[in-house]
Amino acid sequence: MTYFQPIIDFVKGSLRFGGVLAPGLAVGIGIPAQQAPIRGGRVVERPETVDAGVRDFDFLVGDWHVRNRRLKSRFTGSNEWDEFPGKAAMHAVLTGVGNVDEIQFPTTGYTGLTLRLYNRHSKEWWLYWATDRDGALQPPVVGRFENGRGEFYGDDVDGGRPIRVRYVWSKITPSSAEWEQSFSLDQGKTWEVNWIMEMTRMGTRPGSHSLQECCPIVELRQYTMKPGRRDDLITLFDKEFVEGQEKYGITVIGQFRDLKDPNRFVWLRGFANMEARRRALDGFYTGPIWMQHRGAANDTMLDSSNVLLLKPAGPQSTIRLGNLERRPSSGNTESVVVATLYYFDSPDQTSFATFFDSTVAPDLRKAGATLLGQFATTTLENTFPRLPVREGEYVFVCLASFADGAAYQSYRDTLANSQLWNEAIIPLLQRRVAKPSEVLELAPTNGSLLRHP
């Protein structure tokens, strides 16, 4: 008997709750296990391999509000639904190969638990569900994600009738997701949806477009435009490409006119992780919105390859978007966003991030800057090579904002007249960087989410 045999036996003998699969947050634990070889009396670690599928559920880590809609009667033609709330919390286990979540249904009187494991051999997720009513793991549903949509299938019995079960994860963004359960009596020829969970990450303002914090992966994109064509792209972008990308789980953080270069368009977008980025970009750039408008968009540009792939420089340095809105009616329509790029010879900016936070940032704030976030280039592999990124460059990016052009000029004047800044901090900065910094002075477009708060 192997170490895992008791678990396998338990899974095989598990009972269903109430005669029907309960959803939890999809269900989850796949078991295929492979022991590491032992040489010379010690365990030898297997070499790490790149397997993007293991990151599929990274978007779900954290705490969630859950709005449940459950069909009152299955296979009767009913269109009556019960609605009830839930709260969920998910965390990764086994260095990300598995994850566990617990969901509470306070008005129904029970709690559920989902356990998932990723099978590296079959590239599939195995998902199991249990509740505190009986503690038994239910039969698995098995599947994978493609183009931002996860589908998982299994067999079960409902009311004495054998059924096919389908779970679907879709509409995934950093701050929201939707889970759906369907049953079939005819081996998948037709399906009846009987449970829907609409999930909103805790800390997200109802109706907002974004997380309180965003995002683990960020692209800083600078486009060189054909002379006089920048506003043509901005009009098209704000109308079609913001919502069009967010449908695939992309957070469109901000779009900007470069104040120093009339032929440069700058924008930022964020992703939950690199695999989510691959799925989202593949979905958008093969989808109907881009296919319809790509000719008009590309006709405005000379170059779109100036792209930095970034990650937050520290745990508290990511962008917070929770109180910002697109197309504000008043208050911050004239704001200025400044991106300062510091260049280095090595990929590790940990020490510089500490120096920046303790020495540079306080003076920037004192001079009048609102710091929005700090980022460093990531060395992760570009998961969507169709869109190239700048490789072999190591950059630290500071984002700051100002209420308007006058506030920005006042900030610059304050630093220019600061003896501490000019005689102490600037020399310290210059000794740490590989070449002079680059400053992008940006005006948010009407549809930009990121602007001065």
**Tell me: the pLDDT tens digits for 138-197?**
899 999 998 788 999 999 998 899 999 999 999 887 778 999 999 999 999 999 999 999
Q: Say whether both 270 and 158 belong to one domain.
A: no
pLDDT over 50 (residue 24): no
Q: Residues 45-100: pLDDT tens digits?
A: 433 444 678 888 888 888 899 999 999 999 988 889 999 999 998 888 887 789 99
Are residues 321 and 449 in contact, defined by beta-carbon separation less than 8 angstroms? yes
SS3 440: strand
Does residue 429 have a pLDDT over 60?
A: yes
Note whether residue 450 is domain-resident: no
Average pLDDT, the chain: 83
Which pair of structure tokens corresponds to residue 218?
């960020």
Residue 326 or 394, more confident: 394
Angle between helices 274-285 and 288-298 (to 10 degrees): 80
Q: Write the pLDDT tens digit of every residue in 273-291.
A: 888 899 999 999 999 999 9
Residue type, 40: G
Q: What is the pLDDT of residues 328-358, one digit of tens each?
A: 544 456 899 999 999 999 888 888 988 898 8
Residue-wise over 74-106: b if at least 16 C-beta within 10 A, else e? beeeeeeeeeeebebbbebeeeeebbbbbbbbe
Residue 453: predicted pLDDT: 79
Same domain, 105 and 196: yes
Question: Is residue 4 helix, strand or coil?
Answer: coil
* Same-domain status, 262 and 132: no
The answer on 221 and 196 residing in a single domain is no
Say if residue 147 is in the same domain as residue 172: yes
> The domain that contains 141 carries what CATH number?
2.40.128.20
What is the bridge-based pairing of β-strands 161-173 and 141-146? unpaired
Domain-ending residue, one of 201, 229, 260: 201
Q: What integer pLDDT is reported at residue 204 of this predicted model?
A: 52
- Picking from 175, 201, 227, the residue at the C-terminal end of a domain is 201
**23 and 141 share a domain?**
yes
58, 102: one domain: yes
On whether the CB atoms of residues 233 and 258 are closer than 8 A, the answer is: no
When pLDDT is cut at 50, 70 and 90, the band that residue 6 belongs to is: very low
47 vs 408 pLDDT, higher one: 408
pLDDT tens for each residue of 25-37? 333 323 233 333 3
Contact 101, 25 (CB under 8 A): yes
Q: Bigger pLDDT: 78 or 431? A: 431
Give the residue from 227, 221, 240, 223 showing the smallest Cα distance to 296. 240
Q: Residues 6 or more apart from 282 whose CB is under 8 A from it?
A: 147, 148, 384
Instruction: Mark whether 318 and 256 lie in a shared domain.
Output: yes
pTM of the shown model: 0.57
Domain count, the chain: 2
Tell me the pLDDT tens digit for each residue of 102-130. 999 988 888 999 999 999 999 999 999 98
Instruction: State residue 333 phi and psi, 5-degree precision.
Output: -75, -15
Could you tell me if 195 and 225 lie in one domain? no
Domain boundary residue, one of 138, 170, 201: 201
Query: Using alpha carbons only, how large is the chain's radius of gyration in Å?
Result: 25
285 shares a domain with 222: yes
Cα 158 from Cα 137, distance rounded (Å):
16
Closest residue by Cα to residue 125 from 144, 139, 140, 138: 144
In a domain, 286, yes or no: yes
Residues 134 and 232 in one domain: no
Nearest of 364, 354, 291, 22 to residue 181 by alpha carbon: 22
For residue 152, the enclosing domain spans: 5-201
Rounded to whole angstroms, how far apart are CA atoms 191 and 169?
Answer: 16
**Residue 50: inside a domain:** yes
Phi, psi of 93 (to 5 degrees): -135, 165
